[in-house]
Amino acid sequence: MSLPRVQSRSGTNADVDATAPKVHVVTFGCQMNKYDSLLVEGRFQRHGYRIVGEADEADVLLFNTCSVRDHAEERVFSWIGELKRRKETRPELVIGVLGCMAQRVGEEIFRRAGHVDLVVGTRAFHNLPDMVAELRQRRANGLAPKKARVIALSLGEQPDDDREGEPYTGGRLGYLAVMRGCDLNCTFCVVPKTRGRVLSRPLDELEAEARWMVAQGAQVITLLGQTINSYGEDLAAPGPNEPKHLGRQGRPSLADVLYRLQQLDGLVRIRMITGHAAYVTPALARAIAECPKVDRFFPLPVQSGSDRILRAMKRGYTTELYRDRLSLLRDAVPDIELGTDWIVGFPGETDEDFEASERWLAEQAYVQNYVFKYSPRPDTHAGEALVDDVPEATKTERNQRLLRTAERTQLLRLQGWIGKRVQAFVEGKNERGLLVARSFHNLPISFAGEDASIGTVLELEPTDATSFGLFAKRV
């Protein structure tokens, strides 16, 4: 893979032809979407387009969307609605909807928002410049705007992730999608529908992309995947004379990715989001223990502390099995910190079920907790077949209660770090003028220091804690 031809500053490539068409991408949702949006920008730059920082300046305006909860989709429709008038005065403007909502809603988007020109699902991003060219050609040939539209929703495509000729614009803190999709089928979740089945990228390709990022300034790489530790399950097992990897039947696994990237010069830290208990293995636990660049932190969404609800969610584990998997991690990495996600108000959740979640949170002492109110999604089993019977007010109350439990638990956990020396990577500066760092356990730390230490690893001593992070002094 060669180095980029286009220089870039903070997401814009002002050095290219000023008459080139201008693209702006608005991103909703998760880190994977942010990663995909950078990929889209890179692809356009490779085709001679300019990336602009303002939606108003764009000739091609794209929305990379999220479907996980209902309000995420409604926000996109309201943004797009506001563009209706602009499109009337500037009919040459190209408006596209990309990603999960495009995949899920498809043609219906054209019906709800007649001024949208492009609907592009989660596995067709790499073709976007060609699709825009096709659309413009159709218009130039005199097709009416509605006839010129382009839609691409196949989930069967192998995305082309080769970054040759593209600038890396992700900065110091980079993201790298190691796999896409999910083979599980949690009853509340729309992701298998929007992102398709697991598609893991080959180890060599991941290493090449990581090198390309590091050569252009990435120091931290966060590895991304919907169920990141199922990485490799879809890759071929090696033949009798081929080297064996650490996954099932010698397949590559996330542990192999970690050992590979650990060796990259210039890469300082490696992080991961998001894991699933069913795929936690001793090899993964050992890799986290043995790779000093890998954060001693693992995000392992549990969703509920009630076995009854976990079964209804079809999470693929009981609390007992989840606890066993945590033990694998804790045995190998005794000081590991854990993050998790929760859903409150899933159909049928009783006060007792909810209290089981509260107890589980406190017992496992997660240092990071994301709490969501259940949102019924179309095309999911729970959305279609279960009654959304927990009243909104109860969901809100449980949400607040679980957040309070989380805050108490996080505070205790973080207070445990006071007085201990930690290594931390300094990421930048906050609005109060303090430097902000992440410890090697992925804990946020702020402290007074020099700007020159941004981008370096320092030894710090935490002196105080809140529920969300530590204050420290330099050692």
What is the binding site for ligand SAH (CB under 6 A)? 68-69, 188-189, 191, 226-227, 274, 276, 301, 303, 341, 343, 372, 374-375, 377
In the complex with ligand SAH, which residue's Cβ is closer, 68 or 287?
68
Q: DSSP alpha helices (H): ranges in 181-244? A: 191-195, 203-215
- Supply the minimum distance, in Å, between the C-beta of residue 221 and ligand F3S: 21
**Per rule CB under 6 A, is residue 361 in the interface with ligand F3S?**
no
Side-chain half-sphere CA neighbours of 20 within 13 A: 20
Separation between Cα atoms, residue 35 and residue 32, nearest integer Å: 5
**Per rule CB under 6 A, is residue 271 in the interface with ligand F3S?**
no
In the complex with ligand F3S, which residue's Cβ is closer, 227 or 409?
227
Among ligand F3S, ligand SAH, none, what binds residue 274 when CB lies within 5 to 8 Å by partner kind?
Answer: ligand SAH
> Alpha carbon of 161 to those of 40, 111, 139: distances in Å?
10, 32, 29
> Is there a cis peptide before residue 274, judged by omega within 30 degrees of 0?
yes
Separation between Cα atoms, residue 178 and residue 36, nearest integer Å: 12
Single-letter amino acid, residue 353: D
Separation between Cα atoms, residue 210 and residue 229, nearest integer Å: 18
Tokens of 84: 């209706």
* Sole binder of ligand F3S in the list 189, 199, 214, 255 (CB under 6 A): 189
Among ligand SAH, ligand F3S, none, what binds residue 286 when CB lies within 5 to 8 Å by partner kind?
Answer: none
Among ligand F3S, ligand SAH, none, what binds residue 103 when CB lies within 5 to 8 Å by partner kind?
Answer: none
- In sequence order, the 6+-apart residues with CB closer than 8 A to the CB of 213 are 168, 170, 174, 176, 221
Separation between Cα atoms, residue 281 and residue 293, nearest integer Å: 19
**Per rule CB under 6 A, is residue 257 in the interface with ligand F3S?**
no
- Supply the minimum distance, in Å, between the C-beta of residue 230 and ligand F3S: 8
Separation between Cα atoms, residue 30 and residue 23, nearest integer Å: 21
Among ligand F3S, ligand SAH, none, what binds residue 192 when CB lies within 5 to 8 Å by partner kind?
Answer: ligand F3S
What's the full length of the chain, in residues?
475
Helix (H, G, I), strand (E, B) or coil at 414: helix
Among ligand SAH, ligand F3S, none, what binds residue 68 when CB lies within 5 to 8 Å by partner kind?
Answer: ligand SAH
* Sole binder of ligand F3S in the list 65, 122, 226, 253 (CB under 6 A): 226
**Per rule CB under 6 A, is residue 198 in the interface with ligand F3S?**
no
**Per rule CB under 6 A, is residue 33 in the interface with ligand F3S?**
no
**Per rule CB under 6 A, is residue 66 in the interface with ligand F3S?**
no
Among ligand SAH, ligand F3S, none, what binds residue 216 when CB lies within 5 to 8 Å by partner kind?
Answer: none
Contact between 308 and 353 (Cβ < 8 Å): yes
Write the burial class of residue 71 (CB in 10 Å: 0-12 exposed, 13-18 middle, 19+ buried). Answer: exposed
Task: Name the one range near ligand F3S by CB under 6 A: 119-127, 131-139, 185-193, 412-420.
Answer: 185-193
**Per rule CB under 6 A, is residue 184 in the interface with ligand F3S?**
yes
**Per rule CB under 6 A, is residue 191 in the interface with ligand F3S?**
yes
In the complex with ligand SAH, which residue's Cβ is closer, 274 or 439?
274
In the complex with ligand SAH, which residue's Cβ is closer, 253 or 369?
369
Taking only Cα atoms into account, the Rg of the chain, rounded to an integer number of angstroms, comes to 23
Q: DSSP alpha helices (H): ranges in 83-216? A: 84-89, 100-105, 108-112, 128-140, 145-148, 191-195, 203-215
Among ligand SAH, ligand F3S, none, what binds residue 69 when CB lies within 5 to 8 Å by partner kind?
Answer: ligand SAH
Task: Name the one range near ligand F3S by CB under 6 A: 106-114, 179-187, 292-300, 324-332.
Answer: 179-187
* Sole binder of ligand F3S in the list 42, 96, 129, 192 (CB under 6 A): 192
- Supply the minimum distance, in Å, between the C-beta of residue 361 and ligand F3S: 18
Among ligand SAH, ligand F3S, none, what binds residue 180 when CB lies within 5 to 8 Å by partner kind?
Answer: none
**Per rule CB under 6 A, is residue 123 in the interface with ligand F3S?**
no
- Supply the minimum distance, in Å, between the C-beta of residue 106 and ligand SAH: 19
Among ligand F3S, ligand SAH, none, what binds residue 374 when CB lies within 5 to 8 Å by partner kind?
Answer: ligand SAH
In the complex with ligand F3S, which residue's Cβ is closer, 192 or 299?
192
User: What secondary structure does DSSP assign to 325-379, as a single string?
Assistant: HHHHHHHH-TT-EEEEEEEES-TT--HHHHHHHHHHHHHHT-SEEEEEE----TT
Binding-residue pattern over the window 419 to 458 for ligand F3S, x denoting contact by CB under 6 A = ----------------------------------------
Tokens of 169: 């614009």
The C-alpha angle 260, 263, 269, rounded to 5 degrees, equals 95
Q: What is the dihedral of CA 206, 210, 211, 212, to 10 degrees?
A: 100
In the complex with ligand F3S, which residue's Cβ is closer, 303 or 410?
303
In the complex with ligand F3S, which residue's Cβ is closer, 287 or 343?
343
Separation between Cα atoms, residue 379 and residue 329, nearest integer Å: 34
Residues that bind ligand F3S (CB under 6 A): 182, 184-186, 189, 191-192, 226-227, 276
